[in-house]
Amino acid sequence: MLGTRGAVLRAGGRQLARLLSGQRRAESSPDPWCGPMVATRGTCSDVPSQAPHAPLSSQAPATPATMPPHLAAYPTLDKLGLLVGGAVRIKEPARVEALISGIVGGGFSRLQLVVDFDYTLTRVHMGGHRCHCSWGIMDNSPKMPEYYREEANRLLAKYYPIEVDPKMSEAEKIPHMLEWYEQIHDLLVKCAISRDAIKGMVSASSSRLREGSEELCHTLHGAGVPVLVLSAGMGDVLEEVLRQFNVYTDNVKVVSNFFDYNEEGRMVGFKGKLIHVFNKNEDAIHSSDYFEKLHDRNNVILMGDSLGDIKMAMGVPQPSSVLKIGFLNDKIDERLEVFMDNFDIVLLDDQTMDVTNSIVGLMK
Ligand SMILES: [Mg+2]
* Residue in 31, 116, 196, 236 annotated catalytic: 116
Residue 287 and residue 299: Cα distance in Å, rounded? 20
Spell out the domains of the chain, with CATH numbers in brackets.
Answer: 2-30+56-124+208-361 (3.40.50.1000)
Detail the DSSP E strand segments found in the chain: 88-89, 111-115, 125-126, 129-130, 227-234, 252-257, 259-261, 267-270, 299-304, 321-328, 345-348
Single-letter amino acid, residue 128: G
Is 305 catalytic? The answer is: no
Nearest to 49 by CA among 169, 159, 162, 177: 169
Give the Å distance between the CA of 245 and the centre of ligand 1: 18
Give the Å distance between the CA of 44 and the centre of ligand 1: 7
Residue 62 and residue 55: Cα distance in Å, rounded? 8
pLDDT digits over 140-188, tens only? 899 899 999 899 989 989 998 888 777 788 899 999 999 998 899 899 9
Residue 162 and residue 348: Cα distance in Å, rounded? 23
* Residue in 31, 46, 118, 296 annotated catalytic: 118
**The pLDDT value given to residue 316:** 79
Q: What is the DSSP code string of 160-228?
A: HHHHT-TTS-HHHHHHHHHHHHHHHHHHHHHHT-BHHHHHHHHHTS---BPBTHHHHHHHHHHTT--EE
**The pLDDT value given to residue 315:** 76
Q: What residues have CB less than 8 Å from 192, skipping those under 6 apart? A: 266, 267, 268
Give the Å distance between the CA of 343 and the centre of ligand 1: 14
Nearest to 179 by CA among 156, 198, 201, 149: 156
Tens place of pLDDT per residue across the chain (364 aa):
333 223 333 333 334 344 333 344 434 333 333 333 333 343 333 333 333 333 333 333 333 344 455 566 788 887 786 445 578 899 999 999 999 999 999 999 999 999 999 999 999 999 999 999 998 899 889 989 999 989 998 998 999 888 877 778 889 999 999 999 889 989 998 998 998 899 999 999 999 999 999 999 999 999 999 999 999 999 999 999 999 999 999 999 999 999 999 999 999 989 988 888 888 876 667 777 888 888 899 999 999 998 889 988 887 777 789 999 999 998 899 889 999 999 999 999 999 999 999 999 999 8
pTM: 0.80
Residue 184 and residue 178: Cα distance in Å, rounded? 10
Give the Å distance between the CA of 73 and the centre of ligand 1: 33
Give the Å distance between the CA of 253 and the centre of ligand 1: 17
Residues with CB under 5 A from ligand 1 (ion): 43, 116, 118-119, 305
From the CB of residue 340, how many other CB atoms can be counted at a distance below 10 Å? 22
Q: What integer best gives the mean pLDDT of the chain?
A: 80
pLDDT digits over 31-66, tens only? 333 333 333 343 333 333 333 333 333 333 333 344
